[in-house]
Amino acid sequence: MKAWPYPRIVAHRGGGALAPENTLAAIDVGAKYGHTMIEFDAKLAQGGEIFLLHDDTLNRTSNGWGVAGELPWEKLERLDAGDWYGAEFKGEKLPLLSQVAERCARHNMMANIEIKPTTGLDEKTGTDVALAARELWKNQAVPPLLSSFEFDALVAAKKAAPELPRGLLIDSWHENWKALTDELECASLHLNHKLLNEERVKAIKAAGLHILVYTVNNPARARELLGWGVDCICTDKIDVIGPDFV
Ligand code: G3P
Ligand code: MG
């Protein structure tokens, strides 16, 4: 089994449900609640700058509109990514991956970088994010864990920075999970927790993989999953399922 330095609880999109997702403010909120690892979503601007955003479009989580990856960073950086969530976060920006790396280092936080390519840019996003992550985290004791739902993005990440650990994300059950993770030389399999039962956890662990599950907001369910041997719980309930959760 590959080295696994990551904690049991991971704050989803930085600050879970308590802050505008994928912002520096969210990372600060995650840190305020004592979290030692965050997950966030990274994609490319038109000119190749890497920044954080979950959706393909800007519509839900900013005051912008349209496909984010089709816009230059000069436009994206002017948008407000906090006001949609709450007036107290007005003025919050879409962060660059470089700013996120700095903020994680400041809080001594580990990172799960989910590679979330704009449609059609899987390979390029995988390559660019992996190369940037290698550089930006080079002075950190723990490497960022790269993950993606996009197989081709992880193939590209493996080619670009093979030393960075990879996790394949799945939202529906794939009987061929072992072949896919073998090909990618994954450290982990990241699943929607609803796909799991104790038998599946055992099989995945027996294959030498660690398991991260998303998005678990019920403490009883989190306890059950950890009891089965799941390694990491990714949660929006960062105040209830905190870093000391048992
Ligand atoms: O990486 C875990 C989780 O974030 C995957 O789903 O849609 O929240 O990015 P999503
Ligand atoms: Mg994500």
Q: What is the pLDDT of residue 218?
A: 98
Confidence label for 246 from pLDDT (cuts 50, 70 and 90): confident
DSSP 32: H
Q: Which residues of 176-204 are buried (b: 16+ CB within 10 A; e: fewer)?
A: ebbeebeebebbbbbbebeebeeebbeeb
State how beta strands 110-115 and 145-148 pair. parallel
Question: Who contacts 193 (Cβ-Cβ below 8 Å, separation ≥6)?
Answer: 213, 214, 215, 216, 221, 225, 230
Q: Which helix H or strand E contains 191, and what residues bound it?
A: strand 188-192
What distance in Å separates the CA atoms of residue 229 and residue 4, rounded to the nearest whole number?
14
Amino acid identity of residue 95, one-letter, is P
pLDDT confidence of residue 1: 67
Structure tokens at 205: 């662990």
pLDDT at 2 over 80: no
Q: To test the ligand 1 pocket, which listed residue (21, 114, 210) has its Cβ within 8 A of the most ligand atoms?
A: 114
Q: Which of 21, 169, 210 to mutate to test the pocket of ligand 1 (most atoms within 8 A of CB)?
A: 169
Please check the confidence at residue 3 and state whether its pLDDT lies above 80. Answer: no
Condensed to tens digits (0 to 9), the pLDDT of residues 39-67 reads 999 999 999 999 999 999 999 999 999 99
What is the reported pLDDT for 20? 99
What pLDDT band is residue 97 in, cutting at 50, 70 and 90? very high
Asked if the model's pLDDT at residue 207 lies above 70, the reply is yes
Averaged confidence pLDDT in the chain: 98
Average pLDDT over residues 146-169: 98
Q: Which CATH class is domain 9-56+97-235?
A: alpha beta
| pLDDT confidence band for 17 (50 / 70 / 90) | very high
Residue 127 three-state SS: helix
pTM over 0.90: yes
- Each domain of the chain, given as residue ranges in start order, spans 9-56+97-235
Taking CA atoms, 133 is separated from 117, 148, 197, 246, in Å, by 15, 14, 33, 31
Task: Please tell me the distance between residue 138's alpha carbon and the centre of ligand 2 in angstroms.
Answer: 23
